[in-house]
Amino acid sequence: MALAVYPGSFDPVTNGHLNIIRRAVKLFDQVIVAVAYNVRKKGLFSVQERLEMLEFVTRDIPGVEVDSFQGLLVNYMQKRQATVVLRGLRAISDFEYEFQMAHMNNYLAADIETVFMMTGAEEFYISSNIVKEVASLDGDVSGLVPGVVEEYLRRKNKK
Please identify every residue annotated as catalytic. 17, 41, 90, 128
Q: Helix and strand tally (H, E) in the chain?
A: 6, 5
What sign for the dihedral angle of Cα 100, 19, 117, 133? negative
**Alpha-carbon span 109 to 62, nearest angstrom:** 28
Q: Residue 55 carries which side chain, given as an amino acid letter?
A: E
Q: Where are the alpha helices (DSSP H) in 2-146?
A: 15-24, 47-58, 73-80, 92-108, 128-136
Of 13, 15, 48, 55, whose CA–CA distance to 32 is shortest? 55
Cα 83 to Cα 94: distance, rounded to the nearest angstrom: 22
